[in-house]
Amino acid sequence: MKRLYQKIYLTIVASLLLVVLVAGALWRFGTQDAPWQQGLEIAGELVATALPPANAPRPIQQEALERLSRRLDLDLTLYDRLLQPLASAGQPLPPPRMRHGPGGWLYGPHGPAWSLPLPDERVVVVRAPVRHRNPVIGLVFFLGTIALLIALCAYPVVRGLTRRLERLQTGVETLGAGDLSARVRIEGRDEVARLAESFNRAAARIEELVGAHRLLLANASHELRTPLSRLRLGIELYEQTRDPKYKSEIERDIAELEAMVEEILLASRLEATRQLQSTEPVDLLAAAAEEARRYEQTQAGGQPVTVAGDPRLLRRLIRNLLENAHRHGKPPVQVAVRAQSGRAIVDVSDAGAGIPLAEAERVFTPFYRLSSETGGAGLGLALCRQIARLHGGDVALVAADGGRTCFRVVLPLAGPA
């Protein structure tokens, strides 16, 4: 059952139906040759001995019935074989439902009564006076029985629900205490099960984010030490010598620090959001041409291709690839844009010696550098892959003619407006 309210509602309905069936079964099968019926027959025989015969005058029958009523302290009404009243003592009582029935329980305006068949086909209806009985007791007993049956039927459902909620609460408290590996067992297919699934997904996402941030912090602290050390040394040398070359080195170190901090913040933000805040049509050829003008010996060509995305992030993707090509490759650098099989493809290649295929995936790892690399924080290619995947695409290192280095960006084309 997929909805919790349906389970609770059907449990109550099933419990009530069970009460009705049990009551009906007791009423139906408990009235056939039951021991209390034999008791009524015996009681009728005893009452018959204390009453005059059926053909006795009515005053005599009335006197005998009143004498028996005073002796037993009961309300009594005597009916003939045609269920016509012959005599009555105390409160009048209703006649039985059948002329020749086996006797049994009756209910009148003043409370329940019992009919006792006599051997001569007369019937005596008996009821205890109000002062000797509490009419509420029977109702309370009946309602209590119904409540007990409903409680017994509903307990397994309610306990199963609360047990799962307790496990979910324990998982939330464990996660809040700092154990990011906390998960809860998923049972059923209702709202509580979906809540447990949502909790597990959220816990996994939190664990992933915290782990990524810890790794980012550890690597960033390591990467920032080098330019900071150079900056400190450059400031000391400049103060001692006032040589302009140290000033230019300080400016380069500051620019490197700014770029590194910007990349770290952008990587952290993309890892946290994992979705675009807004999208608009972006011409990749125009963006590539604009970024290519920033570098010498760099050309962009191909066909106009439009994708839906964040223009600033897509330009940053192309810029990082160009920066990587100029820093670690060899000019000239080529940018080729085209559409193929419903996808936009951007190839950025340079004339360098190329990257070994064994390193094809590792170069996208944050803060990873090839042994021959110098400079940079090792986040440029990792940011490229984050941006591409955020737009529904990817970046990969592909084989190019002559062993050149070529990074290929594949993005979905923009749909029709």
Q: Express each pLDDT in 128-186 by its tens digit.
A: 765 545 555 666 677 777 777 777 777 787 777 788 888 888 888 888 888 888 888 88
Is 403 buried (19+), middle (13-18) or exposed (0-12) by CB count in 10 A?
exposed
Where residue 274 falls (left for φ over 0; alpha for ψ -120 to 50; beta otherwise) is left
Number of H helices, E strands in the chain: 9, 12
CB-based burial, 301-312: b 16+ in 10 Å, e otherwise: ebeebbbbbbee
Q: Which residue has the higher pLDDT, 189 or 332?
A: 332
* Cβ contacts of 38 within 8 Å, gap of 6 or more: none
Give the number of other CB atoms < 10 A from CB of residue 167. Answer: 15
Task: Give pTM, 2 decimals.
Answer: 0.49
User: What residue spans define the domains of the chain?
Assistant: 31-133, 191-273, 280-412
Query: Which residue in the block uniquely carries the two structure tokens 């690839």?
Result: 321
Q: Express each pLDDT in 87-135 by its tens digit.
A: 898 888 888 876 555 566 676 666 678 788 888 888 888 887 655 455 5
Report the alpha-carbon distance of residue 36 to residue 367 in Å, rounded.
91
Architecture (CATH level 2) of domain 280-412 = 2-Layer Sandwich (3.30)
Candidates 1.10.10, 3.30.300, 2.60.40, 1.10.287; CATH matching 191-273: 1.10.287
371, 398, 391, 367: which is closest to 381 by C-alpha?
A: 367
Q: Determine if the peptide bond prior to 332 is cis (ω within 30°).
A: yes
